[in-house]
Structure 1
Amino acid sequence: MTALDERPASRPTTTTTVSVAEYLGARLLQAGVTDLFGVPGDFNLDLLDGLATVEGLAWVGSPNELGAGYAADAYARVRGLAVLVTTYGVGELSAINALAGAAAEDAPLLHVVGSPRRAAVEAGALVHHTLADGEFGHFSRAAAELTVVTETLTLERAAEQIDTVVLAATTHRRPAYLSVPQDLALARIDAGPLEHRLTAASDPAALHAFESRVTELLVDAQRPVLVVGQLVARFGLGADLADLAARAGVAVVTQLSARGVLDPEHPSFAGDHAGTMLDNGTAELVAAADVVVQVGTLLTSELTGFGSHRRPGADTPFLAATEAGFGATATGRVLLPDALAALDRALAGRRGPRFVRAGRPVAATPVHAPDAPLTQAATWDLLAAALPEHTALLADTGTAYWGAAAMPLPADTVFGGQPVWSSIGYALPAVLGQGLADRTRRPVLVIGDGAAQMTVQELSTIAAAGLAPVVLLLDNRGYTIERALQSPRASYNDVAAWDWCALVPALTGDRGRAVSVRTAGELSAALADAFADTTHLVFVQAHLDADDTPPLIDALARLATAAKG
């Protein structure tokens, strides 16, 4: 489990009652949340006023709810929980794309909605932010499609409902939804439950059944391989995985959604895995394994190389957020941290040989003529050479993500993106969430111009929060990944030209600066300068040809075309 579980329960007051807002704030602090993302609206103002009295919580306002939701998603991945506060109707619907992304990417985001007063709901009043039909359940029903639990708070069950949504989000590492009527936000409720931390537990019988069977499968395994997915990172179990792998001497491959979970120099790390889409030997390694263990994986098309991976069989062990089992059958409720500990014990008794990582050829340092026009190949080579250790590299969907996915990472690098939901514009607000969640790592963002136009206003929030990321904008005048997939000359793949070097200081003031580069030499110098300047948000606009793509996009396009038949 993470260090957050070792905190004692906080006690917000010595009285026997607290307001609903204070109770919620106390539970959030216990879960490691210190920043609240969102946008104010009249139905949530009482709630925000109440949360403002909770010492230790800071408000982070965004220009719009979608950006706030993306920021909360990234924060949740680091802290194990994040909170997004919006108003009813217009606010929550603006954020619903972010809520869906958090569901797809296993991010424990708690969406708290300030809703109309109970009397208005009971009377079916035709108030603003509704569909003027007297029906107030439309939006909570939409949220129910995307969350593990949806609650509309009542006075009688307020503490229980708050505990339910917080525990569900942190246990499942998925979004949850809480609607707080305006007239209940400051209502007094019993503070007694706050004396006890919220905890979840595995079913002992199910855990024992899983451990017994996986031990049988692994005891004589000669070539076991662990395929590791994003849930390991979401639960903060990267260090546990590294220790397990080192002790057991077992091969580990990571899905693209789990890049950076295991240090690239770890003796058990065999490479990133996406079926045959990656030409690095992991597909052959997994195919030759006698036991493949799926640890927190998600088998979507892009993450499996469009189905070119080895498919799980009836005896394939799997470890998920709240269950573990074999093939398509779970043994019961087994939480991922407990399942990983059971796997550790099972591997301890394995009699087979230790994995020996094949020697990796030392790649020649690429040479790019300083005066040559900038290319995708040069961009990724130069970024790989310049990127320091201990950063958080965030890559937006498109050429940015698939270029970064093939780039070697320095030691101790967090890698983030949205390979499952793939909503362009996500990664720019994610810089805000990542940077606030872990101020020890400088965020580095790579994003296309089309994606950046979606959420660029969040640069102002990032700068106001005192963060100083490095932003590399891939300016190829549109959606190059779509050009690679279909209709490269279609006008719908073009975007309007922006003066980025004028826009950045307009949004960030003296906290940010921008530079435009067109050659390999200019990019090399700009990156060196950006990483040396740790006090400013540094924005580098890299001009690229509209048809130039990273090699991995070419492979992606081929497999996607083949999958369509």
Structure 2
Amino acid sequence: MPTPATPTVPLAEYLGRRLLQAGVGHLFGVPGDFNLTLLDGLAQVEGLTWVHSPNELGAGYAADAYARRRGLAALVTTYGVGELSCLNAVAGSAAEDVPVLHVVGSPATTAVARGVLLHHTLADGVFDRFSQAAAQVTVAQETLTRERAAEQVDAVVLAALVHRRPAYLSVPADLAGLPVDAARLATPLAAATGPAAVAAFAADLAALLADARRPVLVVGHLVDRFGLAGAVRAMAEAAGVPFVTMLSAKGCLDEDHPLAAGTYAGTMVDPAAAALVEASDAVVHLGVTFTDVLSGFFTHRPADARTVRLTATTAAVGDGPAHEVALTDAVSVLAAELPRTRRPVPAPAAPRPVPAPVELGVGPLTQQAFWSVVQDWLPAGTAVLADTGTSFWGAAGLRLPADTVFVGQPVWNSIGYALPAVLGQGLADPVRRPVLFTGDGAAQMTVQDLGSIAAAGLRPVVVLLDNRGYTIERALQSPTAGYNDVTPWDWHGIAAALVGPALTHHAVATAAELAQALKDAAEDRGSLVLIEVALGAFDAPPLLRALAERNAATAG
């Protein structure tokens, strides 16, 4: 607690200024009576902009995409009904290692102390049920107190930054204006790795690399989360070491780089990349996660005595101990050690296949033709967002042009994520025009966020794959089952109602129509462009078919 002579600021302002220091310029969420005083205080902090979302789930998805680009996002909801509505989004951020600070406006401390039966509760006088739920999907949780409020804010924000995972902060309504010590703001939040741990990791690494002649870097999504793409690229170039990229890190490094050796998902996606990893005598895991899908159903090379494993907060070599070293520091150590040993210059990677060109005829559009036309059109310097299902597995097969961001959710796989993610990506990275690929089933879950996207001034290209159902589920099992169908919608009418006059709509059914619509969309920078694409209900892109085959084999 500050003394009477200590300069103070209201707690809401303190939180807002900590967010600004971490690169946050937008607040996502939905107002509710328990967070209104907090929101009034945050509104006084210059540099923070409130972003309207129709519901908390969409706000959570938008915050997730924002945090991927900015390194932190703030999601503000009310107690109970609001925080539970976005729990799925926060869980996705946890699974995908995305630092979203979930700030919940909660009942006043006086009401909690008396056990008052309040709305948005179970009317039983118990107030910690929802923070317990949040504890399952967040790396740190605090319910603020009068005595330690500023210290608690700092601890939770720092935890999100260090671990690149969600954290939970409950702000009682009567504490939002609490005076707290302003002097703490002069010291930015930062965590330092101990020099002894760095030295121990460096020694273990040097021992492994001393006789390594065929090292390879396996680039995972944490490279992107920590903003380390440039450092990893420079390290690979300095040491002449090839790299393969996990599907979860697609777009993190230039796919046309001379040292890029393909996509690594075990043997499912790219056999050449799998062979390179298998033959390596030093495999460096840079923030990877090997789930069933990302590992090609566990056909990857498991970590062994010749593996370096780097996570957000630890670094380990072979069977040795995990040293408490932050990923940024571990990459610096690796960059110093890798070039020390002369190795043969790797042969240039074989050209990776891209969707084959198609004739722009008048026949019905197939998945193969669709992605081939997209490949020919996709401009550099954009942000590609692909929703779970057909869209992700089609877009994953694209060869991205230079300076292209890719946003997907291959670990959590929540259908409907990518449309609200356009809002977060677009606000976090306004120089890139978002290009969204989403299915009709996914869009039916979160289409209302088109209104928020348009209101924010964003003008993405939205490519809606209308195949009348959940094609990924059809590919996996029971393709003709009625539960895989969705109700047909008037997409043009719905989008027009949500977006208004800023909408341009194209309905396409052939490759020629698609190519023309994409060309027009590239030139139409002043509109939100919706391209509605008619596709066969049972057609699927090659990678989705491969996924379905592996899934069936595993189940069998």
TM-score under structure 1 normalisation?
A: 0.96
Matched, 1:19 2:10: yes
Moved more, 232-241 or 512-521: 512-521
What is the correspondence of 1:294-333 to structure 2 with a 5 Å cutoff? Answer: 294-327=285-318, 330-333=321-324
State the shift of 1:381 in Å. 0.6
SS at match of 1:304: coil
Residue 354 of structure 1: how far off its partner (Å): 2.3
> Matches of residues 414-453 of structure 1 in structure 2 within 5 Å?
414-453=405-444
Question: Of 264, 267, 278, which aligns to 1:273?
Answer: 264
Cα 1:492–1:418 change in 2 (3 A) is: same
Cα distance, 1:557–1:364 mapped onto 2, change above 3 Å: closer
Partner of 2:63: 72
Q: Which of 265, 277, 299 is equivalent to 1:286?
A: 277
Cα distance in structure 2, aligned partners of 1:475 and 1:514: 14
Give the secondary-structure state (helix, strand or coil) at the position aligned to 1:483.
helix
SS of the residue corresponding to residue 67 of structure 1 reads helix
Give the Å deviation of 1:449. 0.3
| CA displacement 1:215-250 (0-9 Å, x = unmatched) | 221133111111110000000010111111111100
> Which residue in the other structure is 1:103 paired with?
94
Indicate yes or no: 2:226 matched with 1:235: yes
Contact 2:260 2:349 in 1 (8 A): no
Query: How far, CA to CA, are the matches of 2:454 and 2:68 in structure 1?
Result: 21
Q: Report the CA distance between 1:262 and its aligned residue.
A: 1.1
Alignment partner of 2:98: what SS?
A: coil
- Measured after TM superposition, the shift of residue 397 of structure 1 is 0.2
Deviations 1:379-429, CA, capped at 9 Å, x for gaps: 101111111000010000000000111111111111110000000000000
Shift of 1:331: 3.2
- TM-fit CA distance, 1:123: 1.2
SS at match of 2:322: strand
Corresponding residue of 1:524: 515
Residue identity in the other structure for 2:546: A
Distance in 1 separating the partners of 2:502 and 2:321: 52
Report the alpha carbon displacement of residue 113 of structure 1 after superposing the two structures with TM: 0.1
Secondary structure at the aligned position of 2:12 is classed as helix
1:221–1:351 contact (8 Å) kept in structure 2: no
Secondary structure in structure 2 of the residue aligned to 1:301:
coil
Pick aligned residue for 2:539 from 508, 532, 548: 548
Match status 1:564 vs 2:555: yes
Instruction: Please name the residue that 1:6 is paired with.
Output: none
Partners in 1 of 2:336 and 2:158 — Cα distance?
Answer: 27
Aligned-partner Cα distance in 1 for 2:398–2:425 = 21
Asked if 2 retains the 8 angstrom alpha-carbon contact of 1:70 and 1:430, the reply is: yes
Does the CA contact (< 8 Å) of 2:34 and 2:107 recur in 1? Answer: yes
Which sits farther off after the overlay, 518-527 or 210-219? 210-219
Report the counterpart of residue 244 of structure 2 in structure 1.
253
- Cα deviation code 1:180-208 (max 9, x no counterpart): 00000011111010011111011211111
CA contact (8 A) 1:468 1:537 kept: yes
Displacement, 1:333?
1.2
Partner AA of 2:372 in structure 1:
D
Query: AA paired with 1:556?
Result: L
CA 100–347 in structure 1, closer or farther in 2 if over 3 Å, else same = same
Q: Distance in 1 between matches of 2:92 and 2:500?
A: 31
Matched, 1:413 2:401: no
Q: In the alignment, does 2:199 pair up with 1:216?
A: no
Give the aligned partner of residue 535 of structure 1: 526
Question: Does structure 1 retain, via aligned residues, the 8 Å contact 2:262–2:352?
Answer: no
Matched, 1:47 2:54: no
Rounded Cα–Cα distance in structure 2 between residues aligned with 1:58 and 1:372: 48
- CA shift at 1:327, angstroms? 4.3
Does residue 370 of structure 1 match 2:361? yes
Q: 8 Å contact 1:219–1:346 — kept in the other structure? A: no
Select between 318-327 and 537-546 the one with higher mean Cα deviation.
Answer: 318-327
Q: For residue 235 of structure 2, what is the aligned residue in structure 1?
A: 244
- The letter for the 2-side match of 1:390 is G
Contact kept in structure 2, 1:399 and 1:480, CA below 8 Å = yes
Please state how far the C-alpha of 1:264 moved relative to its aligned partner.
1.5
The equivalent residue for 2:171 is 180
Partner of 2:455: 464
CA distance in 2, matches of 1:330, 1:231: 21
- SS of 1:333's equivalent in the other structure is coil
Following the alignment from structure 2 to structure 1, what is the Cα–Cα distance between the partners of residues 355 and 208? 42
Tell me which amino acid in the other structure corresponds to 2:210. Answer: V
Distance of 1:396 and 1:411 partners within structure 2: 21
Please list every run of 5 or more consecutive structure 1 residues that lacks an aligned counterpart in the other structure. Answer: 1-13
Q: In the alignment, what sits opposite 1:500? A: 491
Residue type of the alignment partner of 2:52: G
1:46 is paired with a residue whose SS is helix
Structure 1 contact 209–331 (Cα < 8 Å) conserved: no
Distance 1:328 1:45, change over 3 A: farther
- Find the partner of 1:340 among 323, 331, 335: 331
C-alpha distance in structure 2 between counterparts of 1:543 and 1:329, whole Å = 54
In 1, the alpha carbon distance for the partners of 2:356 and 2:414 equals 34
State the partner residue of 1:10: none
Q: CA deviation at 1:368?
A: 2.5
Residue 83 (structure 1) aligns with: 74
Residue in 1 that maps onto 2:23: 32
- 2:129 alignment counterpart: 138
CA separation in 2, counterparts of 1:329 and 1:462? Answer: 48
User: Deviation of residue 362 (structure 1)?
Assistant: 8.0
Indicate conservation of the 8 Å contact 1:271/1:280, yes or no.
no
- Cα distance in structure 2, aligned partners of 1:164 and 1:466: 35
Pick aligned residue for 2:466 from 446, 461, 475: 475
SS at match of 2:323: strand
8 Å contact kept, 1:117–1:181: yes
Residue equivalent to 1:4? none
Structure-2 residue corresponding to 1:149? 140
Alpha-carbon distance, 1:280 to partner: 4.5
> Quick check: 75-84 or 15-24, which moved more?
15-24
Q: 1:203 corresponds to which residue? A: 194
Q: In structure 2, what is the equivalent of residue 8 of structure 1?
A: none
Q: d(CA) in 1 for partners of 2:25 and 2:159?
A: 19
CA shift for structure 1 position 352: 1.8
Give 1:314 deviation, angstroms.
3.5
Give aligned pairs, total.
Answer: 552
- Contact 1:316-1:327 at 8 Å conserved across structures: yes
Q: Is the 8 A contact 1:297 1:320 kept in 2?
A: yes
